Amino acid sequence: MSTRLQRLTADRLALAGGAILLTLGLAAIAAPLLEQALDVSGIDADLLGRFEPPGGAHLLGQDEAGRDVLARLLRGGRISLAIGLLGAIGCTVIGTLVGTLAAYAKGPVDAVLMRITDFVMSLPSLPLLIILAALDLTKLGFSPDTLRSPMAGFWRIVAIVVVLGWTGIARLSRAATLAVLERDYVTAAQAQGATQLRILTIHVLPNAIAPVIVAATLAMGRIVLAEAALSFLGVGIQPPATSWGSMLNNAQDLLVTDPMLAVWPGALILATVIAINLLGDGLRAALDPRAGTGA
């Protein structure tokens, strides 16, 4: 593990990606504190301050409703980054369970789980995302009051991206588990009478998890983009909640009046995805068992 950590810390691009993500995450968490310190708001409208340029306490100016742009960006980052993180965790948990079980059980269980995986992978992702995000959940028994909650759109998008996004990790986990099951130490553990649960938790999962970690990191970037696309199309995060995608949606009619209202959230989405990819590439190189062996 120390060797892998040394490889990761020696990768400047990966460290830069991690630093960007950490900075954005901490800034988003601290959004209410920043509003209090500067005496601004990313929620309350100030019609007398509409489209005010940067200056004073408003470091990035004010938007079409007089809300502070910086505070709004940070509040939007809380939603966008949280969806990316929770979605990636959900995809990883489901994908790892399905892939590991398929590889370990083999036979009919493997065939059924992989056919389900193939079916979900064959679905057109973006159209299905849009349909599920726009679906009227009151017809499924959800109360209107629940759906009007500011966080209803948040949890809906998390659920959608998890349901549709676990398949790649499942296939990767299955392949990694099959490779580990062929190792001599697994055979030795079986010969010594170790239980299947012990073999799975002690010998298989820890040695098959490295590629899954990389895939989970990269999945976060895809989920951030998916949320931005849904919110930009108007079927994602709904007011009064905000995300970077919903900010782009609001700014599309204001490109002539104030183009920076679209530039800032777009730039943060771009920076986030690039940072995630840099960190993912660094993790891939650091966790590669062939690294440093000349293979």
SS3 label, residue 55: strand
pLDDT at 293: 47
**Cα→Cα distances 271→24, 46, 83, 94, Å:** 10, 29, 16, 28
Distance CA 239, CA 177 (A): 44
| Residue 137 CA: distances (Å) to CA of 120, 142, 151, 262 | 22, 6, 14, 31
User: What pLDDT is attached to residue 289?
Assistant: 59
Neighbours of 249 (CB within 10 A): 22
pLDDT over 70, % of the chain: 96
Q: What predicted TM-score, i.e. pTM, was given to this entire model? A: 0.90
Q: What is the pLDDT of residue 62?
A: 93
Angle at 174 (CA atoms; ends 190, 9), nearest 5 degrees: 95
What whole-number distance in Å separates Cα of residue 77 and Cα of residue 94?
A: 25
pLDDT at 276: 94
Least confident among 22-31, 32-41, 50-59, 133-142: 133-142
Distance CA 22, CA 275 (A): 10
Long-range contacts of 112-121 (CB under 8 A, 24+ apart): 113/170, 114/171, 114/174, 117/167, 117/170, 117/171, 120/164, 120/166, 120/167, 121/167, 121/168
Yes or no: say if 104 and 204 are a contact pair by the CB < 8 Å rule.
yes
Question: Can you name the residues that pair with 68 across neighbouring β-strands?
Answer: 62
Neighbours of 31 (CB within 10 A): 19
Whether 88 and 217 have beta carbons less than 8 Å apart is answered as yes
End-to-end CA distance of the chain: 19
Give 64-91 pLDDT, tens digit per residue: 999 999 999 999 999 999 999 999 999 9
Query: Could you report the per-residue pLDDT of 114-166, keeping only the tens digit for each?
Result: 999 999 999 888 888 888 887 777 777 777 776 677 778 888 899 999 999 99
Q: How far apart are CA 295 and CA 287, in angstroms?
A: 14
Other CB atoms within 10 A of residue 248 CB: 22
Average pLDDT over residues 198-203: 84
One-letter amino acid at 89 equals I
46 backbone dihedrals φ, ψ, rounded to 5°? -140, 85
Residue 291: pLDDT band with limits 50, 70, 90: low
In 69-176 the beta strands, taken as DSSP E runs, fall at: none
Q: Long-range contacts made by residues 236-241, C-beta under 8 angstroms, separation at least 24?
A: 236/133, 236/153, 236/157, 237/79, 237/153, 237/154, 237/157, 238/152, 238/153, 240/43, 240/150, 241/79, 241/150, 241/151, 241/153, 241/154
For residue 23, pLDDT beyond 60 = yes
Domains of the chain: 83-287 (1.10.3720.10)
